[in-house]
Structure formats: C-alpha cells, structure tokens
C-alpha cells in the first residue's frame, strides 16, 4: 500500500507542477518592454518644451520600419510635432513646437524588443511664460507612417506565445493521463 501512496503523491506533485508551469506561461505580455520615463512626464506642468522623449526598459526594434511613432496633440486637437519620431536604442524622441497654453496629449506606439507592439497615451500641461503664436497642423508630419498598417498585439501574439501555452496545456494533460494510468495499474496489482 505504501507504493500506491508514493505514486499518488508523485502524480499529485506532477499535476501541481504542470499547473504552475501552465499558469506561468499563460501571460506572455508580462515580458513586453515598458515605458520607464517620459519628458515631459505624465501630469507635469512645463513652461518650455522642445521635444518629447520617451525612455523604454529595453532597446526598441523597427527603427527603420516606421513601427515606432509618437504624436503630440494640443488642446485645439491639432498636431504639434515638427518631424517624425527618432529612435536611439531604448529612447524615442519627437521634436515639437507647442502652441497655446493647455493640456497636450502624447500618443505613442513602439516595437518592443520581443517584437510585439506596445502603446500608450498620457497628458501634460503646457503653461508658457508668454503667449505663443504657433499654430498646429491638421495632419501628422509622418501621415504615411501613422496610416500604414502596423501589427497589432493580437496579430503578434498568434505566434510562439500561443504555441507555448498550447504545448504546456497538452503536456499537463499528458502528465495527468500517465499518472492516472500508473495509479490504475498499481491498484490492480494490490
């Protein structure tokens, strides 16, 4: 009877281990890079701004493909960036000339070091010492990039990550099946 108990404990251990591995593999998005800091920062009030700089946790991919994009929209709904975003390692910069005082929104999209697109939005307040006469633009200076079809998170996650989770689930089911067969064989012998 002790052999049966040992096998039962071993099978239960395998089941728990397989469940833990499967649960750990079910969240591939946790591996994506993240926005670490921004200048100007979210919620910050600034008097002058020459560029928006976004710093990520790792080096961005797709610097030449247009997969990295940022826009700055003013309180009037117009664009205030003066050129396309540039990428240098893990830093995305965007030159801007802001207009009137108010809340400005930064929208960004970047290609994470794992190849998946990541994106976000935040706002900051512009409060210049003197009134600016700069007018925004109806069109983004990189309109061809912003309207180009880019991979989405759901498109990108259809590859290895989904296969990994499926493989882990199948492996867990196989471990449970083998354990059940071993238990049945040992019960017959006892």
The helices-and-strands tally (H runs, E runs) of the chain is: 4, 8
Instruction: Give one word for 66, left, alpha or beta, with left for phi > 0 and alpha for psi -120 to 50.
Output: left
Instruction: Report DSSP state, residue 38.
Output: E
Segment 85-107, tens digit of pLDDT: 999 999 999 999 999 999 999 99
pLDDT of residue 87: 92
pLDDT of residue 113: 87
Kindly give the interhelix angle for 160-189 and 2-25, rounded to the nearest 10 degrees. 170
pLDDT of residue 162: 44
CA distance from start to end of the chain: 7
pTM listed for this prediction: 0.60
Q: How far apart are CA 158 and CA 151, in angstroms?
A: 11
Segment 52-83, tens digit of pLDDT: 999 999 999 876 667 899 999 999 999 999 99
């Amino acid at each position: 009877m002790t052999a049966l108990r040992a096998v039962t404990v071993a099978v239960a251990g395998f089941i728990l281990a397989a469940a833990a591995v499967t649960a750990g593999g079910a969240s591939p998005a946790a591996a994506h890079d993240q926005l670490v800091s921004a200048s100007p920062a979210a919620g910050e009030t600034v008097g002058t701004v020459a560029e928006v700089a976004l710093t990520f946790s790792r080096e961005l991919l797709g610097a030449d493909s247009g997969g990295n994009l940022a826009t700055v929209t003013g309180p009037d709904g117009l664009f205030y960036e003066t050129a396309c975003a540039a990428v240098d390692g893990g830093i995305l910069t965007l030159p801007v000339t802001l207009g009137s005082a108010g809340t400005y929104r930064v929208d960004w999209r970047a290609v994470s070091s794992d190849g998946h697109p990541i994106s976000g939005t935040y706002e900051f307040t512009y409060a210049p010492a003197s009134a600016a006469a700069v007018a925004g633009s109806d069109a983004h200076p990189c309109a061809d990039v912003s309207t180009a079809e880019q991979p989405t998170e759901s498109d990108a996650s259809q590859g290895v990550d989904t296969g990994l989770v499926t493989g882990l689930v199948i492996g867990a089911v196989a471990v449970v099946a083998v354990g059940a067969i071993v238990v049945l064989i040992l019960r017959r012998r006892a």
